[in-house]
Every structure is written in C-alpha cells, then in structure tokens.
Amino acid sequence: MKPLNRRRFIETAAGAAVMTSQAIGPWIRAQDKPGKQYRTALIGSGWWGMNILRVAIEDGSVDVVALVDVDADELEVSADEVESITGKMPAMYRDYREMLEKEKIEIAIISTPDHWHALQGIACIKAGAHVFVEKPTGHTIQESRAMVKAAREHERVVQVGMHRRIGPHHVSGMKFLKEGGAGEIGMIRAFAHSGGGPEAPTPNSPVPPNLDWDLYCGPAPLRPFNKRIHPGGFRNYLDFANGILGDWGVHWLDQILWWSDEKHPRKISSMGGRPIKGPVVLNEKEQTSDSPDHQVVTYEFEKFTAVWEHRRFAGNEAEKSKVGCYFYGTKGTFHMGWRDGWTFYPAEGGEIIHEDPKFDDEKDGHNVPPLWRDFIECIEQKRLPVADVEIGHLATNMSLLGMISQKLGRGVEWNGETETFPGDEEANKLLRRDYRAPWEYPV
C-alpha cells in the first residue's frame, strides 16, 4: 500500500473528515532554523502526540515526513495542522510498519495507547531511528525490558516522555531533598485523585469507518468497539493500559526512584478494586472499563517505605493537592506537586518554604520543550538522555509491579536484578502476556 497523501486518504477512508481550510502561516520552516533537521515521524497523532510534535517543530530540529494513526480523522486533522505550521504536508499512514519501510526516518515520536509503546519502539529502533516514546515503556515488564535491550544493542537514544525529570521545580525540589532539606526520609506517599463515580455499562457500537480497530487493538484482544475507549479512554481498560497506576503512577513513582537513587522495591502489595465504579461488564452488547477505581500499593525498599494511592471518586479540594508526592523526613514534610510547585513544611514550626512551578507550556502545564532539547542534544553528543529508557523502564516497573500484585490479590517479592519473582511462578507468568496473532511478543 502506498503512503496516503491527503487526496488518497480522503478517497480511501469512507467518512473521512472534510478537508479543513485553515489559515496557512506564518510557517515555522525547518530549513529556516539552524542545525540539523531530522526526518521525523509521529506514531499516534492524538492529543499528546501532537503536543510533542508542536514542541519538536518549534524547536526547529525536525523535518516532519510522516504521521501514522489508525484513526483517519485524527490523522487528517493533525496532518493539516502540520502543514499549516510548517508549510509542508507530511505523508500519512495507517500502519507504522509500512511507514518504517518507506520513509527511512531518523526520529520516531510514539504516543499511541500504552500496549503499543514497546512493540512500536523496538520496531523503530531496529529501523535505525532514535525514539521519543511516551510513558509507560511497556504494558508488561518483559516487553519494556526488551525495548531497553533493543536501544542498547542498536545504540539509539530513547527518551521517555517523563518531563517531570526536567521540569524546573522538580529539579530544584530534588536538590533540596538530596541535600537533606527534609532530613532523613522514612516514608513517601505518591498519589493521584480525581472525580468520578459509579459507572453504568455503555453500549458497544459499530467501528467508525475512519478507524482501523483491528490495528488499534493490535497485540491486545480484539474486544467490541466502544466509544468510551477511543480517543483517550483506553487508560482505564487493562487490555490497553494499566489504569491510573500505569498512567499518573509512572510520573510520581519515578520521583521516588529519582530522589532515592534506588532501582527497585523488594516487596510490593496492592489493595483496591471497584466498589464505586461497580462490576466489570464486557459482552457483545455493552461494556464498562475494568481498571481499579481506587488502589493503595505499598512498596518496601531497604531504607524506606513508599505508598501509592489513587481514587477516581470524591474528587474535591479536601486534600488540597490532587496529584503529587509527600516525602516525610525528620526535619519536616516536603510536598512535590504539579501546578502547585513544591512546598516544605518544617516539623518544628518555622517558615514554610515554597517554590512555584515554571512551565514551558502553560496551557498543558508540562515541560516537554526542555525534554525534547535534551533528546536532540543526546543524539548529537551520543549520550544518555535525562529520561533514558532504562529510567523509564524502572519507573514503569513500579506501576506494573503494583498491578501484578493487584491482579494476584496478594503481595509479591521482587528480585530487581533478575527482574523475576523468586519461586513465584504465578507472578512470573504476569511479567508478559500472550499476544494476539500475528503479533509476536518481543524478547
């Protein structure tokens, strides 16, 4: 199949979006910026993928040669936007394998649902591309490890989208903690709370004509299409992601690894469920999501204990901060937040210390621009990036270990060196999953 140019795309995708007539320019043309412009493709041109791509274009380091998405409408709208910013229409593809064959890209940005990250990441690395991949680095631990291995074998730079490793208030907060500002820390509580409530099943619907649902599901089971899943909703379906723990959890559990320089916990125990959202439903007529509506995970490290908490109900201001991490130390409590920056509350009274956040992207409140710059500089200087794939893998493991304990309904012991659960075959089986044919689990 040929790459889809705009006209061909509209011819082939029944019901595709009508072409938009956007105002063109002023263009950010790659050739007007100093430095090399890398042949770049975005795989997964939804909300977050386009956020990253806009940053990359603004940075001046990319020549956007292709967009890939299984949703023809997303693809069309995104390609139009790229053209309106750069003056150049990228080629459009549904299937990343075909894109990799045709385009000889130097950089891939991967922002698909989580169950694709490792598989697509590895394919891009093997095709010779440096990769900016979204977190988590895998849907299961062994595929994530396989991506680390591929990155090292092929000597490619792989940056994981963990911008909380480079955001200014995170960097200054970590300096404060590592210099002993909060004293000796014995416990950390990371959390993400949001609103919500009971969930009634939503009727399944025919697959929209613009969507290749089979290729969306890919290695995951081919479940009936439901509008709650796409776009964005896949996070709450365990076939495609790992709920809030696999989403927000990666960012905040990573702060614990960053602060402690630890690589992995020794024991993990999760409790939680769906008392508020209600039972999981999945049949030919209707379905619900299936991730826990709340979860409490304890992680035992050698010198401290960490706790993860999330809740998808009772979202309110009662606890002030909805996402973040509390570090409890002998000198006081340190709160690492998001839009609320960081704050230190001394144990013996005294002055509260606070630092506001600084975002390069005020609207979304993130720091993708410095993360992208670091990625490019690492390609040029042949060094490891600030959110290197190994760092992303270890943070992803924190989330996935919690999910394994949750699925087993009991605690587990983890050997982080061998990445196995010693003598626990039931748990070891959950380090990977069976892929739907013809997809093959990466090793």
Ligand X SMILES: NC(=O)c1ccc[n+]([C@@H]2O[C@H](COP(=O)([O-])OP(=O)(O)OC[C@H]3O[C@@H](n4cnc5c(N)ncnc54)[C@H](O)[C@@H]3O)[C@@H](O)[C@H]2O)c1
Report the interface residues with ligand X, using CB under 6 A.
Answer: 43-49, 68-71, 74, 96, 111-114, 116, 134-135, 161, 215-216, 218, 230-232, 247, 366
Residue nearest to ligand X (CB): 46
Helix H or strand E encompassing 295: strand 294-300
Q: How far apart are CA 159 and CA 376, in angstroms?
A: 10
Tell me the closest approach of the beta carbon of residue 26 to ligand X, in angstroms: 26
Tell me the closest approach of the beta carbon of residue 43 to ligand X, in angstroms: 5
Tell me the closest approach of the beta carbon of residue 71 to ligand X, in angstroms: 4
Helix H segments across 40-126?
A: 47-59, 72-86, 96-103, 117-126
Tell me the closest approach of the beta carbon of residue 93 to ligand X, in angstroms: 8
Single-letter amino acid, residue 304? F
Q: If DSSP codes are grouped into helix, strand and coil, which group holds residue 166?
A: coil
Structure tokens at 430: 């959950």
CB proximity list for 161: less than 8 A, separation 6 or greater: 48, 52, 111, 132, 133, 134, 135, 368, 371, 387
72-86 and 47-59 helices, crossing angle to 10°: 20
Q: How far apart are CA 322 and CA 365, in angstroms?
A: 14
Angle among Cα 407, 280, 207 to the nearest 5 degrees reads 115
Residues in the chain: 443
CB-wise, 68 or 122, nearer to ligand X?
68
Tell me the closest approach of the beta carbon of residue 362 to ligand X, in angstroms: 15
CB-wise, 161 or 201, nearer to ligand X?
161
CB-wise, 81 or 421, nearer to ligand X?
81
Q: If DSSP codes are grouped into helix, strand and coil, which group holds residue 333?
A: strand
Q: How far apart are CA 337 and CA 324, in angstroms?
A: 5
Tell me the closest approach of the beta carbon of residue 380 to ligand X, in angstroms: 23
CB-wise, 47 or 275, nearer to ligand X?
47
DSSP class of residue 415? Answer: B
CB-wise, 393 or 412, nearer to ligand X?
393
CB-wise, 14 or 352, nearer to ligand X?
14
Tell me the closest approach of the beta carbon of residue 12 to ligand X, in angstroms: 16
Tell me the closest approach of the beta carbon of residue 70 to ligand X, in angstroms: 4
Are the C-beta atoms of 193 and 383 separated by less than 8 Å?
no
Are the C-beta atoms of 91 and 22 separated by less than 8 Å?
no
CB-wise, 189 or 366, nearer to ligand X?
366
CB-wise, 247 or 293, nearer to ligand X?
247
Q: If DSSP codes are grouped into helix, strand and coil, which group holds residue 68?
A: strand
